[in-house]
Structure formats: structure tokens, C-alpha cells
Structure 1
């Protein structure tokens, strides 16, 4: 597990508001990558090397280059203003680690569900769990080099996604692209989920 590089810098004294987002999705969809792309600190990563023990357990179809897997959570931090900080938690994708879900979702303001259209069926169980949590969420298609372009209407139908849930695309490796997904989620919470705690949006560029 990658604890050695974790940067535990404390929050500035000026921070008065902390927002919590989760990044969920199937195995190998890019959750760890997205958290690392936007985090202002070197993130905490609970990754382990894939071994032969995972054969028949973790489906590596379409992921020939994947050598590690998250076995706990990823954690990153992003300061949006001198008074506002975002805590970002990446959840494990495999069902055998879903026992962590009930703890992770407590206090969460919103959820980003990352999907890979090459392995769309791996998103169904995750979406069902997210919808059951009753927390506002958005769906972001992580674009890989060989990702085919699908109409948004076809993706919504395939995922059985309600019209009010935002659907967007991103490159989880790119800081700006990943940050825009978080902005989409914040706007969704603020404008369409008044029954949940409002997430303030900062006018300044994240540091």
C-alpha cells in the first residue's frame, strides 16, 4: 500500500467548510487516477499488486496493462477557496470490498460514478448501490484511447439513467477534465437536490 508518499499536511486555519465526495465505479475504471489528478496533496493510495490469486476473481478483460488494485480507499484533497476544502474518496471497485461502502457513504455530499463504455456491464451493480444510497450523483464516462463514441441517449438507455442525472465525459488523467466533473457534481447538488446539504461553489480557481 502506498503510504510512504502520502502528504498529511494539515488544513489551513482559514478553512471553515469541508465537503466530501466519493468516486465510485467498476474495477479498473480510473478512480485512483482521477483522485490523483485533482488532489493538491500526494494522495493516500491503498493499492496492492495483482497476483495469480486474483485469477477468476478480478475480471481483467479489456485491462491488459493493469497491475494493481485498490483494496481500501484512495484519499485526496482539493482546496477550492481559503475557507472551503474538498475531501475526495475513491472507493474500491470489486464486490469483495463493498463492505466498506456503508462507512464511506456516511456524510457524503455527492458521488461521481465513473464508467468505461468498453465494460459497461461492470457499472450496473455500482449504479444500483449508488442509487440506493440516496445521495446526489453524476455519471462520467472515462475516455480511453480505444473508447468508441456513443450517443448520450444510447448510454442513458443502456445504464437506465434518469434524465435528471448529469452524464458527462472526462479524461481521468487530466486535472482540468477531472476537476470539471467535480464542478458538474457540485452544480447538480446545488441546483437539483435542495433536500441535501448545499455544496458551496468557489468563484476562485482551485489552488
Structure 2
């Protein structure tokens, strides 16, 4: 019941399709980002019935960077992370000491720890290991992409395997912590963007279940 209740507190908003070519990406981003902000603002501003006494945050989980915002009156306030930036690199790293690093700190150590620094995994969400896109990514990325027991494309770092959704969950947790630090209280409700190419309902459910905000 607890997990079901958490699912009801997440609203997934499709974001722009990052697989489009560079020539079309800018124009698509302007249109779709504007629409996306309007939708998120509408939900946060009252169309979405929020539980009494709880704030609802909006998280844009991007392939390169992520951000989090909260409505203050009629305006969306983009929250700064612990490093003082309004955007957080969607990068996760696992140090040799077993530490989990997320965001800005990961980029500083990436040169010396490339095989355990994971980025761009949003493109792998819902993809099988033998998917042509996954195979292309495998040839370009410094970290390992492996075949999961269920046949999906997962990543490997420090000998441990993680689904692309799990990597995204680490980034979401970082964004949630930034929001809670700013608001001074626990956050349990969020509007989260999902990849625009997620058309299959089962993929959407899996993505949501693995990104539960704890």
C-alpha cells in the first residue's frame, strides 16, 4: 500500500525528444519546453490537487543536466543545489572507496575514474541490450554496458550492475535533497519529466517505480 501511495504522488510529463538531430533540436526544445513548463506550472499551481500541507516539486531529469523547481505564488522558483548552481549534471560516479557521487563532484573526478563515472543513461532506459541504440552507445562510452538478467541494457561500475533507471534515481534523490534543504521540510510529491519516446505504458510504469522518491 505504501508503494502504491507513493506512485499516486508522482506525475510524469513527457519532455522533448533528445534523439532528434541538432538542426531541429533547438526549435523543438523552445516549443516543447514552453509547453512543459506551462503543464508543470498548472499542476503545481492548483490544477493538480496536492495533499494539504505538502509542497509539490517539479523535476526535469535531463540527459546532460537536471533541475528542480517549486511554485512560489504564481512563479516557479528554480532551486540551487548544494554547490550553488541551478542545474545539476546528470552524472553518477562510484569511487574506488565505494562512495556514491552525484552531480558536480562527479565531473571533477571523471578524468581519473572514467570507467566508473556514468552519464547519458536516460537513452538506455527501457532498451534491450541488443537494441541498435544500446550497441551504438556501448562503442562510444567509457563505462561498461552489460546485458542484465532480463535482457535489458544495464551499466556496470566497480563490479556492480545498475539499471539505467537506478542511475536516474540517484540523480532524482540529489534533486529531492536540494528541494528539501531549500524548503526546510520533507518532500513526498513531485512532477517528473520522462523521455518523450516512452510510448509504452509498461516502460512508463517501470521508469516510475524505479524512480520513487523516498
- Tell me the TM-score normalised to structure 2 length: 0.27
- Tell me the TM-score normalised to structure 1 length: 0.28
Q: Which has the higher helix share?
A: 2
